[in-house]
Structure 1
Amino acid sequence: MKRPIPQRERGAALLAVLILVAITGAIAAASLEKLRLSRVVASNVVAIDQARHSAMGAEQLAMLIVNDLVVQDRTKTTLAGNWNGGVRRVPMPGGGIVEARLRDGGNCFNVNSVVQGEPDNLFRRGSGVDQFVALMVLRGVPDPDARRIAEAAADWADADTIPGPGGAEDSAYASGPRPFRTANGLFADVSEIRVLPGMRAEYYERLRPWLCALPVPELSPINVNTLLPGQALLVSALTQGRLSEEAARRILAMRPAAGWTNAVEFWRTDMLRGLAIPLDVQQQPQMRTDWFVIDVRSIVGESEFFETVLVDARFQPVRLAQRRWAREGDEMMARDRN
C-alpha cells in the first residue's frame, strides 16, 4: 500500500537533487578554473623562457660588437659609430621583439673605489672617498651627510673591523631591529649602500643613476673620450668639485673629433690646467673603455624580460663579468641625454 507523502515533505527530493547538481556544478567550475590557471601559468613560463633565451642571444651578439670595438683600436675607444647608448631592435617570430642597448660601463662612480689593495687586504682610499663626497654634494646631498656616507662605505668594504673617523663598522649595524655585519669586502651591488649610516631614500634616488659597483677596487675608469654631455658631472666629481659641472660640459664640447690621445693631453685643457689634482687622480682618466654594459629587453607575448650584463673588455675575447635580471639601463640613459 502506497504511503501518502505528507504535505510538508513534498519537494524535498527535488531540493536534494538540486543541491547535488549545484555542488557538482561548483566542483566542475572550480576544476575548470584551476585548469585554466594552470594553462595560463604554463603559457607564461614558456613565454618567459623564450624571452630569456632571446635576451641571451642578443647578449652574445652585443658581446661580438664589443669585441669588434676593442679590436678596431686597442689604445683608444671613442664615440665613432654612435655605439654608446644606441639601441638595436630585432623582431621575433610571433610578434615578439628584442632590444639591446650598449653603453660604456666605466663612466660612472665606482663605489668600490673607496678602498684599495688586494681582495683579502682592502683599506681606505682617500681620493676615492673624496670623489664620492664631491659627487654627492654635487647631487644635492649636504656635506656632513655625504662625508658620513662615504666614510661608512670605506669601512663597509675595507678588511678590518675598526671604524675610521666618521665611519661605521659592525657595532653601528648591530643595534638595529635586524642586526647584521659589514661585508669587509667589495660591494657586489650598488643597492648595498642603502644601509649605510646617513643614507636616505631620497639621496639614493639622486645618486643611483651615477653609481656602479665594478668588481675591482680601482678609481672609476672614466673614459673621457666616450663621456656624453649629460655625464659632465663625473668630470666635476673627478676634480673633487674644483671644476663646475657647466665648465666640464664645455670641456666635453671642445673634445677633439678623434678624442684625446692620453691623460696628459686631457689635463692640459685650458679649464683644467693649473688645478691641484692628486697624482693618482691625474692618472685616472682613460682613453680606452675596459667595461661595457649591455641592457637587454625581450618581449614575447605579454611577457617581458630584462637583463643587464657587465662585460670585461680587459681580456680578449671579452668576458661576461656580471649578469643581473633588472631594469636599470633606462634611468642611466635618461641621465646621459640631459
Structure 2
Amino acid sequence: MWTKLAFFLLLLPTTAVSFTKDCVDPTNGSSLWFNFYETVCPAAEAIIFAGVVRAVSAEPRMAASLLRLHFHDCFVNASSKFEGCDASLLLDDTDRFVGEKTAAPNVNSVRGFDVIDGIKAELEAACPGAVSCADVLAVAARDAVLLLGGPTWQVETGRKDGLMANKSAAESNIPAPTSGLSALTQKFRNVGLTQKDMVVLSGAHTIGKARCATFSSRFGASSSGSSDRRFLDSLQQLCGSGTNDTLAALDLVTPSTFDNQYYVNLLSGDGLLPSDQALMDANAGEVEGLVAAYAADVDAFFRDFGEAMVRMGRLAAPPGRGGEVRRCCRVVNA
C-alpha cells in the first residue's frame, strides 16, 4: 500500500482550491489565519501530513475516520460554553464532565484517536505548546481527503483547544444518519451553515463505512426502479447475515476514492444512509439540483467542498471564551 500511495502522491495536483476573498477573510471575529504556524512551528503541517500518510497507507479507511473526527468535533455548538472546532471530542471523561466520545453519534463511529495522539506527540517534540489539537484535526482532515484523490485547500489555523466537553450537546447537534431533509437543513443552519453547505459536505460520504444499525431503515424504503431494489436487497442480505455492527461502504462503487460518485449514487437511489438518500426527497427542490450538478461536475464539487470545509472550520467560540493549546489531546493541561 505504501508503494502505491507514494506513487499516487507524485500525481497529485500541487495547487489548492482557490478561494474568493470573502471566503479567505475570517468574518466571525476569530483569530484564524492561513500560515498561522509559519514562524512558531514551520514544520507543523509537514509533520501532520506525514502522520496522515502513515495512517492512511496502513489503513485507507482511516482517511474517512480523520475527516469524520473534524466534522463531529465542529458540530458541537450548543452554547457559548461549548462551541465549534475546539477538539472537545478528543477529551476523555473526567470527574468534571462526561466527554463526547460516548455520545450516540460518536460511539462505534468516530475513531482515529491514536493517530491524532501520535501526530500531537511529534508536534510537541518539535514545537512544544505551539500547535493546538483542534488545528491538528482540521489539517489532518484536509490531508486525508487529498490522499484519497480529493481536493486540497488552505486551512485556516490558530484555534484554541476547549477546556470542557459536552456529551448532551454532541447528541443533540450532530446530524443523525436517519435524519430527513428538513432536519439536516436545520442542523446545519443551527451552526451557521447553509443548505448548500449541507449538500456539499454530505459528499464526504464518498469514502468511509457505516454499520448496519445506521441504515437498516432503508430496507423497507420504496424503490424507484429495479436497480434501486437490487441495491437495497443486497444491503439487507449483507446485514441479515451478520450483526448491526457489520460494515458497508458508504459508496459501494469507488469506496476508497474521494470523488463525486456519492452524488451519482443518489441519483440512482443508491445512497446508503437514510440521511444520504434524503437529499433526493420529492420536495428536495434546489437540493436535488445541487446533487445533479455535483454528479455531473467533479471540479465543481471539489471547489465547493474545499470552501465549505473552510467555513465549517470557522465554527468556534466567541473571542475571549477561553481555551489553551493542550499538551496531550485527551486531557486539559494541569
State TM-score, norm by structure 2.
0.23
By relative contact order (CA 8 Å, sep 6+), the higher-ranking structure is: 2
Q: 1 or 2, which has the higher strand percentage?
A: 1
